[in-house]
Structure 1
Amino acid sequence: MFALRSSRQLCRSAPRLIRFLAHESTPGRPSDIRPAESEAWVEDTRHKPTKPESPAPWFLDPEDAAEPVLDPLDETPGRGIPQPKRAEVRPLPEGVPDALVYLHKQLLLSPLIEPSELLVREPITMPLGLALPDRIHGARRKRGSRSMDLGTTLPLSGGGVWDWIVLVQLKEGVDPTRAMSMVMSLTRKSMEACNKTVTLPTRSQWKVGGGWKMVDANDFALHILTQEARQAYFENTDVW
């Protein structure tokens, strides 16, 4: 019974299959397009504008509505891009110790100071002036100008007690108290990297007065100043 039904269904679907095969083999079908003709059709559609050109708006002149001609792109690195102006850094003098050279490099990386105003130099030789009058010492203590060998001997060459002077000017707009504290901390870390010890005062021991703070770093003195303090104390040396 099942075989009889299958044979009947096959007889019914056979004419449909024959018509389908005859229709597919008919010449002129889109599937029979030659490769050369298809490539030509693709080439023609490639050059056809995909979007019609819209007229220029009424409020634009014809010359303004035309597309601007762009210059060829210059692929040279750094060309056409505005480069930030680098601040001129003052060179280090001869004979600067390695610890100061390292500190100078670290200070230039700080965003709190003016790189062009960073200065490392020897102390300015100042005239000694008139000698101080001798003081009559008392009966209990033998101290004073007549017994200088009993106390601390100071250099009398007029150059000061430090071998080098470092001037650091803060940028305008920064908090002087916080900026000075960070520069002092940077100095201490830089000296520790060079196996040198610098003792810094605590926050309760110093206050920013007049925009000037000095750090005694044994062999050199570090002056941290604002622009106003530098102009007042370090540029007008004639008023000293």
Structure 2
Amino acid sequence: MDAAASKMIMFLHIDMDSARVLCAEMIDTLHLIWEDKGSYALLQGKQAHIDAFELWVKGFFKQGVILGECLESIALERLTAQNLTLATAESCTGGLLSYRFTRIAGASSVFVGGITSYANVIKERILGVAHDDLRDFGAVSEPVVGQMLRGVLKQCGADIAIASSGVAGPSGGSVQKPVGSVFLGVQAAGKPPMIEQHFFATNNLNLASKHHPIDYTQTTISYHLTAREYIQLEASTKALEMLIKYLNTM
């Protein structure tokens, strides 16, 4: 009996709704489940059917489609294809981004290292974040994430970097920046950064009862999440999406 399998799929030049329409007939023919995740979709079904769909979709969309086991494997594939190296500067994600890359065999050809600048003093001393900006804007801010990106690019000598700073909770939030507020950034050396603010709400989530798979695939680590872990996981996932989006503009 053919085993169940899953795969992530991203489209470079069209939105996911349009992609779903174009793929609908083949998805129905192969009895696949298409779960829309926003900037990508999760395909689930029999391994042979997913293999057949992958062959068809690559033939139809050519270089405009990317498939992989998880977001980090897709990102590594894109970085390798573009001959780029990567570094991370993490605060609220606490090294999770670095882990998600380094758990994949062969990541060393792309990933050069990361700096977990959890304390502000490390942001200042190692990454060169201005003390005045930390005081005036706070660690969870666009100016600080921008400087974290520049700092880690300089310290690690990488071609591209991703950075995170946020309020993972359960304490530390404010009216302006409640728990779940996160700034994420991506930047290539010598180019403008992409910095976004996100909010990951946990108010109505029954996390304790969920066996939540990291990156939503059946091939990766899963565990029972606390609200704090959920925010860290969602932040790292969004950062990977941003990285892939940024790479597609280069």
TM-score w.r.t. the length of structure 2 is: 0.18
Greater radius of gyration (CA): 1
Q: Which has the higher strand share?
A: 2
TM-score w.r.t. the length of structure 1 is: 0.18
Q: Which has the higher helix share?
A: 2
